[in-house]
Amino acid sequence: MQPLQNAGYDRAITVFSPDGRLFQVEYAREAVKRGTTSIGVKSSEGIVLAVDKRTTSKLVEPTSIEKIFKIDEHIGAATSGLVADARALVERARVESQINKITYSEPIRVESLSKKLCDMLQLYTHNGGVRPFGSALIIGGVYEGKSRLFETDPSGALIEYKATAIGSGRSAAMDIFEDKYEDDLSLDDAICLAITAINEATDHDTTSDNVEIAVIKIDDEKYVKLSQDEVKSYIDQVIVEEEDDKEEVEENEE
């Protein structure tokens, strides 16, 4: 009986496999892939963060599920993966933001906060006795009239995007973005695009109970979470547009 090729290389975070892989980091990425879909879209008017708050039971209060967080007045984060790990990362991000404000008397830059968070994530990939964070974040914000959108990874890697998604529906959402994203999107169009991506990436009905949206506008640089009524109005708008598109396609086929 031949021993397994990768046996033993996933027992500690500090052990590389012969082909240069850290299996514990890859397992952490799998935890993110099994999480609910979270989305970030950058528009000409600001940042849109949207999350799918999939509930496992009808007894769960949807308002108690937190997947989108305010980091500072001008920065928000959407998470996917292990909820407890995400909350720890969010708390660290909030602390870093306040440290910067106290030290330099100015709000932290979106890129600086993202890098500080990824520095912490990377530390948990090369220290014995710890494990990587099983959570990824989409960090979006506005600073000095510019909107920025970053995606973190359990390995500590950091990438800036115009539109991105994490979680179980990433592939379907990214296909939508590749096809429909434009640089000059208005904030309303970006919200509708985010809802369209969530609707495409999930296998349940998209309603205001299971979708949460936050925006940061360039005009005031303030994080604002949309109410359920506002989310419902955008969802209704997207559904109407999709039905019109289907009717148009059917007419063209005839």
In this predicted structure, what is the pLDDT of residue 15? Answer: 87
Instruction: Give the pLDDT confidence of 148-179 residue by residue, as tens digits.
Output: 999 999 999 999 999 999 999 999 999 999 99
In this predicted structure, what is the pLDDT of residue 251? Answer: 63
In this predicted structure, what is the pLDDT of residue 122? Answer: 95
User: Domain segments of the chain: what residues?
Assistant: 23-54+61-245
Secondary-structure class of domain 23-54+61-245 per CATH: alpha beta
Among residues 70, 41, 91, 117, the alpha carbon closest in space to that of 221 is found at 70
In this predicted structure, what is the pLDDT of residue 3? Answer: 46
83 within 8 A of 134, measured Cβ to Cβ: no
- CA dist., res. 20 & res. 3, Å (int): 19
Instruction: Give the pLDDT confidence of 2-20 residue by residue, as tens digits.
Output: 445 556 778 878 888 888 8
In this predicted structure, what is the pLDDT of residue 252? Answer: 66
Instruction: Give the pLDDT confidence of 45-82 residue by residue, as tens digits.
Output: 999 999 998 877 888 887 888 899 999 999 999 999 99
Range of lowest pLDDT (60-74, 116-130, 132-146, 232-246): 232-246
Measured CA angle at 85 (ends 172, 158), to 5 deg:
55
pLDDT beyond 80 at 191: yes
In this predicted structure, what is the pLDDT of residue 6? Answer: 57
In this predicted structure, what is the pLDDT of residue 249? Answer: 62
Mean pLDDT of the chain: 91
Structure tokens that stand for 150 in this block: 């970053």
Judge whether 125 counts as a catalytic residue.
no
pLDDT beyond 50 at 106: yes
pLDDT beyond 90 at 115: yes
Q: Count CB-CB contacts under 10 A for residue 208.
A: 19
217 within 8 A of 225, measured Cβ to Cβ: no
Dihedral over alpha carbons 109, 114, 117, 121 (to 10 degrees): -160
In this predicted structure, what is the pLDDT of residue 1? Answer: 39
Q: Count CB-CB contacts under 10 A for residue 192.
A: 20
Residues 36, 152, 196, 202: which is the catalytic one? 36
In this predicted structure, what is the pLDDT of residue 173? Answer: 96
Structure tokens that stand for 114 in this block: 């993202």
